[in-house]
Structure 1
Amino acid sequence: MLVVAERLDASADVVVDELNRRDVPVMRYDTAEFPQTLTLTASHAAERSGWRGVLDNGQRSIRLEEVRAVYYRRPGRPAIAENVPEPYATWARNQADGALLNVISALPVRWINNPHVDRVASHKPQQLVAAVRAGLHVPRSIITNDPEAAREFAAEIKGPLISKPVLGGRLDTGTGRPLMVATHALDPAEIDDSLRLTAHYLQEEIPKAHEVRLTVVAGRPFACTITATTDQAHTDWRTDPDGIDLGTTTVPEPVAAGVRRFMAEHGIVFGAFDFAVTPAGDWVFFECNPCGTWAWVENRTGLAIASAHADYLQGTA
């Protein structure tokens, strides 16, 4: 079993712990260890359909042809030796990234999730289209760098708006501590020409009784309710983790069926879905993170998410 993740990754930690309890042999590595402390030797012959070879991190090794499943969770990028100058360091990093990523991704094994599938499934504009096809409700949305188009959208909504990042919500400030670009309320009166500086993703604000972080593993749903107790958490609960109450709930079958269709279309085994549940009880899809965090959900609710991962990786689910 391969686990590919950053060294400090709570979700990977609990999956490894669960596999260890089941006496499943596991090799864990971070792509950031390659090529300095992780060694790859892979060969392919015309008469074979797959890659053979060895991954070795100096403490443990594994033969590629013996891998039966891979749990892949946002590893770092390869780290090139500091004595390699630019532009050669960037070239070497891209070579290392492409080699390790694509050899491992070509293994014909169980995946949570194959990184090539994961990347496509993470695109938010595409997700809204797929969610509608799957029968899920979504907010009215616009992506634009045109202030007038944004004002027209606001006039059409005739209600509160929110703004969110199109891509990942982390901003590298150069201080070593990334800044999270959170979802925030947008007053239509504040729309001005600064909108032209880049693309902006605007949506109607959905009234919430609460939110749901729905973690799905191989078709098994684990629904965590998130009820905001502060105004800040109501807009984006990630910005005020102390301002929320967590619980569990069941998923209405039409929503569960829509989620299954969504995941089948993208070819993903795992997804962390964010929904709002309106005061009327309607579930509204916001987005799906195919590599979302979930250890905090298990820790605070007892939902057996790590066990579901292990079941799938072992081939028992």
Structure 2
Amino acid sequence: MTVLVLTRQLLDGPADLVVHELNRRGVPVHRADPAEFPRRMKLAARIGPGQADWAGGWRGQYRDLRFDDVTAVYYRRPGPVEVDPALTGEDAAWARAEARAGFTGLVQSLRCPWVNHPRQNIIADSKPRALAAAARSGLRIPSTLITNDPGEARDFISSLPGRLAVYKPIAPQSPIGVRGARATVWTSPPLTADELTDEISCTAHLFQEWIAKQFEVRLTAVGNRLFAGGIHAHSDEARIDFRRDYRALTYTVCSVPEAVARGVRSLMSVFNLRYAAMDFLVGPQGEWHFVDLNPNGQFGFIPELAQPITRSLVDLLEGESV
């Protein structure tokens, strides 16, 4: 058996942890970045009458892979395809599209367990879909509005119990251009209706009820196993969005309420996911509010949970029922 790990070769902590655990167990592992194709990787695969699968594989700079050796795939964060720099303009765009379609089409046709298959990630990595599916799965969600109508946005915030809402980007990891550089939009500070401008009409905006949380929870699901880490913020910025100030955070391992566990497992089933990271806000009365689903989210930043999650992921890749 060979576990194929598809991700960048550098700076991917979760993939590093999984590869290390696979090596520790003596499980053959092949780490590859699709960005290496076509410049540093030679690919050849055939299919014809009487064949149910593509036969072949690739030759890399240091290691080769045969498709029929692959028994599981761990899909993390591959880099973008790089083509010959001599190609420019439309030629480069065409070559890049063909390389991406050829490589990903062949790899995604492998009939083996994926954690997760990219098509499942794409479907699940949508805030509107995730919030609706979470509500249908029995999870509590905050009141949420998506609109480009300034009047609707003001009416929505005015109708909330605390008359406060936050703005969140809708697209996953949506960076924007700021003075020629790239920046990421975080959750906004709490907003009142009077603070909104008519510029809301420019595009879709997501406004969500402000929850006066005690703390946040990063819940990581691996198969049926659930790992919950409380994230406690100790700065004003971190209390709005913990990603703003990691230095002001402390972590605790916490138990998952049974109703939340049922809802999470139902949500995993809806999207056919084997792995997911979910974010919850724990309100003043201890109630858990689901706010986000990331089917390919990080897990290594909560130290006490890094190894248990890694071991469960490798159990899954080895074919164990988890």
Q: Same fold (TM over 0.5)?
A: yes
Amino acid at match of 2:148: N
**Shift in CA distance, 102/174, structure 1 to aligned 2, threshold 3 Å:** farther
CA contact (8 A) 1:170 1:178 kept: no
User: Which SS does the other structure have where 1:304 is aligned?
Assistant: helix
Q: What is the TM-score when the length of structure 2 is the normalising length?
A: 0.94
CA contact (8 A) 2:167 2:207 kept: yes
Partner of 1:162: 166
Partner of 2:112: 109
Partner of 2:245: 240
Tell me how far apart the structure 2 counterparts of residues 31 and 176 of structure 1 sit (CA, whole Å): 28
CA contact (8 A) 1:137 1:284 kept: yes
Matched, 1:134 2:137: yes
Long gaps (5+) in structure 2: none
Instruction: Spell out, residue by residue over 1:19-40, the C-alpha distance to the aligned partner (whole angstroms, 9 max, x if none).
Output: 0001111111111111100222
Mean CA deviation greater in 36-45 or 126-135: 36-45
User: Which SS does the other structure have where 2:6 is aligned?
Assistant: strand
User: Which SS does the other structure have where 1:295 is aligned?
Assistant: coil
The total of aligned residue pairs comes to: 316
User: Which SS does the other structure have where 1:311 is aligned?
Assistant: helix
Q: CA deviation at 1:182?
A: 0.3
Of residues 204, 212, 215, the one that matches 1:210 is 215
CA contact (8 A) 1:212 1:274 kept: yes
Of residues 97, 101, 104, the one that matches 2:100 is 97
Tell me how far apart the structure 2 counterparts of residues 208 and 33 of structure 1 sit (CA, whole Å): 44
Matched, 1:181 2:177: no
Correspondence list, 1:1-317, <5 A = 1-7=3-9, 8-158=11-161, 159-171=163-175, 173=177, 178-185=182-189, 186-297=191-302, 299=303, 301=305, 303-317=307-321
Long gaps (5+) in structure 1: none
CA contact (8 A) 1:141 1:203 kept: yes
CA contact (8 A) 2:253 2:304 kept: no
Instruction: Spell out, residue by residue over 1:87-114, the C-alpha distance to the aligned partner (whole angstroms, 9 max, x if none).
Output: 1111111111111112111111011000
**Shift in CA distance, 218/198, structure 1 to aligned 2, threshold 3 Å:** same
Tell me how far apart the structure 2 counterparts of residues 177 and 312 of structure 1 sit (CA, whole Å): 40
Tell me how far apart the structure 2 counterparts of residues 14 and 174 of structure 1 sit (CA, whole Å): 34
Mean CA deviation greater in 213-222 or 51-60: 51-60
**Shift in CA distance, 182/267, structure 1 to aligned 2, threshold 3 Å:** same
**Shift in CA distance, 191/225, structure 1 to aligned 2, threshold 3 Å:** same
Instruction: Spell out, residue by residue over 1:195-242, the C-alpha distance to the aligned partner (whole angstroms, 9 max, x if none).
Output: 112111110011211110001111111101001111111110000101
Q: CA deviation at 1:300?
A: 5.0
CA contact (8 A) 2:176 2:185 kept: no
Q: CA RMSD in A?
A: 1.6
CA contact (8 A) 2:222 2:274 kept: yes
**Shift in CA distance, 77/174, structure 1 to aligned 2, threshold 3 Å:** farther
Tell me how far apart the structure 2 counterparts of residues 117 and 156 of structure 1 sit (CA, whole Å): 36
Mean CA deviation greater in 105-114 or 179-188: 179-188
CA contact (8 A) 2:75 2:116 kept: yes
**Shift in CA distance, 281/295, structure 1 to aligned 2, threshold 3 Å:** same
CA contact (8 A) 2:223 2:274 kept: yes
